[in-house]
Amino acid sequence: MITFKRLKSFWCLLFFLLFILVDAKAEGLQQTVSSKRTRDNFDSSWLFHKGDIAIKRAVKAGGYGGLTDVNVKVETNKVAVIAYTDVDKAATFKPEDWKEVNLPHDWCVEGTFVNDNSIGSSPAVSGYLPGGIGFYRKEFEIPETDKGKKISIEFDGIFRNSTVWVNGQLIGNHQSGYTPSNYNLTDVLRYGNEGKNVILVKVDATEYEGWWYEGAGIYRHVWLTKTDRLHVARFGTYVTTPSISTDKASVSIKTTLKNEYKVAKNFTLVSKIVDNKGVVLDTKTTSRAIEPFSSTEIAQKGAIQKPLLWSPEKPNLYKVLTEVTENGNIIDTYETTFGVRTIEFNRNGFFLNGKLYPVKGTCNHQDFAGIGVALPNKVNWYKLKLLKEVGSNAYRCSHHPPTPELLDMCDSLGLLVLDENRMLSSTEDGLKDLTTMLYRDRNHPSIFMWSMENEEWIQGTVTGTRILETMVETTHKIDPTRPVTAAMNHGRNDNGYSDVLDVVCYNYGDKKLAYVKDHEKYPKRIEFCTETTSFISTRGEYKNDWGKGYVSNLGLWQSGWGPLPGEDWADIVKYPFLGGLFVWTGFDYRGEPTPYQWPCVTSHFGFMDICGFPKDGYYAYKAAWTNEPVVHIFPHWNLPGKEGDSIKVHCYTNCDEVELFLNGKSIGRQKAIPYTKLIWPLIYQPGKLEVRGYKVGKLVTKDIVETTSASSEVVLNSDVNTLKADGCDVAIIKIAIKDAKGRVVPTANNLVKFSIEGPGRIIGTGNGNPSSHEPDKATQRMAFNGYCLVLVQSKKQVGVIKLKASSDILKGDEILIKTKK
């Protein structure tokens, strides 16, 4: 007999089964509307507000309102108690208080220099530009069809201490200015006719992380990523080549998948190894099930026949193309670039692909003239290209992880990379920053070593050793394929600090030949030079000037300061077990204006200035690092009032012999000593100074310096004549002040004014003067010792950009640059 109680139980069970069926169909429907992964650039059309805005902490979810949302009162259920939500916690959005910007953006470089030694972590180091607090806001729409996808936002870099709200919800906070932050927005977004979305980012750059110019703002790219809820995890692939021979390279592929559905899923993972032409070389397929709300790592092993090895000379690249399929449908895709190469450090030096490979590197901060730290991709590429041209084969990211695009460029251009963690720390936040760098960057073939820290005060202490060991062990676990080091200027031989490292790196180990003595004293120690030289000079200057903040190119700032440019390389040749070096630095950078402070606002360390114009020391490294015949003489020969005075002429060269002529008369011929500067004393006479370089008795190159006449014209020279009409591409335009015979006037300081027409905009100017207080965001710039620079960025329209340059008493110039889709 069926009782009412049993009947009730039957209907409850039936209802429950129907609920499960409907829910499962809904899950399937959500999946069918999902599509392959998209990663959209989210840089354009932000609004920026400089200065703090009070936002009180909300004690209920979604309780912020105001400018954190679309200018509506906090959304509440009418049945709920209103007491907590009748006042927005954030101020009302007022468009007139904001300006439109595109990212990357550094508001600090837009400021005015202030002679205030309280700015920065110590006096002068931040370049006398204050940081402060700023806000970024953007309204955007998400289509109805994106319901059911996972949607996240990735900030490649915000300096610093950033807080993010979306649609009135507090999403999260990220302290570091050098590691990326990622937020899952899926639940808080509005889809289709639910309404517009608002993202608000507060950036608090009142504190500092380093002792150089660090900028302020969302200074790297932002990405909006949409995936199926079953997808490759963030930084979810790890590709290595465990064994390599001439005939074959084995390829290990580890892929981490995440299932964010509430039901288990059956999937197939397909990994295709392709060459740079897209030809599939091997395919690996794995089918498996994954539990709900879980992740799994899948290991696959493939191979490349007759692999092309990666090196700075031949940067051959491959890719793994990842496909995740369910029921025959591709639901996620992912790309991983990698290279095939071997790296080894031993007591004899550094070996790349089995051959001794001296590293010719430079240390570099991330800023550039006119734009601070907010570098468009093209400017990063331009800087790397200049380093390659001088003969450099390696780049040290001083002293923090770089923007990810820079690593992509080093992979493709061919530059080894020492990737460096910001700070010695085994705290939760410190290890999170370290592991983020490792997971993000470990597939790049250009990276040959990890650096845990630079010149920390607690190097060589018991506490420092314990912290370092934790970081080294963490790094080995995540990436056992690369050695780990720390850049040390003291404490190397104390309390076992060096013993926990794979490679012991020396900053200025040339002092008393510390690295040579330690090589003999510690028979198991493997060494490398992470920082050398620190030669300070101001482009085009040949005497020290305390008032102007200029440093001569002719000699050391003071005795015992360090080697002259190029002399550091002599130790690498003599002691190849050192493996190579990183010169401090490739470029001048904002802040740390050694040896002066105010009025200097940039450093003097680079062998190129902050615009990329070569100093005299540039040619010492070009002579040491390339096979191209080099002779370079200095100073310039515009020396009015010095007639009859004794003058020394200096020369960097890699020739066997060099002969100097003044107005056609030989001053003498000298045999060159490798990596050593030549000097001739002579009596100054205006005219023509010429040096001729000989190899095996044959004339192979020459350099000429002449006394010029007065400035006559402005001449423009762009690195390109075509730009992409994408709103991002940049032309780097050098301006030279020349005389009537077309010779650069080496002392010219004329004011150059710019005007622009067509689909382009001026995004910055510079001139390499370390004491210039002119605004970088301007349509004019003083030349400094003959040169200045202007950066022109394309808009999104096809057309012709016309840039004109004029100076009051000089003949002007103009240049045309086409923009193309």
- Residues with a catalytic annotation lie at 455, 531
Residue 361 pairs in a beta bridge with 394, 582
Adjacency order of strands within the sheet including 343-346: 343-346, 349-352, 355-356
| C-beta of residue 13 within 8 angstroms of C-beta of residue 20 | no
Any residues with CB less than 8 A from the CB of 497 and at least 6 apart, and which? 459, 460, 461, 464, 465, 468, 486, 488, 491
* Helical pair 616-625 and 567-574, crossing angle rounded to 10 deg: 20
Respond yes or no on whether the N-terminal peptide bond of residue 474 is cis (omega within 30° of 0).
no
* Helical pair 404-413 and 377-389, crossing angle rounded to 10 deg: 40
Tokens 């390599």, residue located: 244
- Residue 67, classified by CB atoms within 10 Å of its CB into exposed (0-12), middle (13-18) or buried (19+), is buried
**What is the Cα–Cα distance from 472 to 467, expressed in whole angstroms?**
9
Structure tokens at 88: 């927005």
HEC states along 412-479? HHCCEEEEECCCCCCCHHHHHHHHHHHHHHCCCCCEEEEEEEECCCCCCCHHHHHHHHHHHHHHHHHC
Residue 274 pairs in a beta bridge with 280, 319
Tokens 């992979």, residue located: 411
Closest CA to 210 of 364, 422, 468, 434: 422
| C-beta of residue 759 within 8 angstroms of C-beta of residue 725 | yes
**What is the Cα–Cα distance from 555 to 347, expressed in whole angstroms?**
34
Strand pairing category for 527-533 and 504-507: parallel
**What is the Cα–Cα distance from 536 to 550, expressed in whole angstroms?**
10
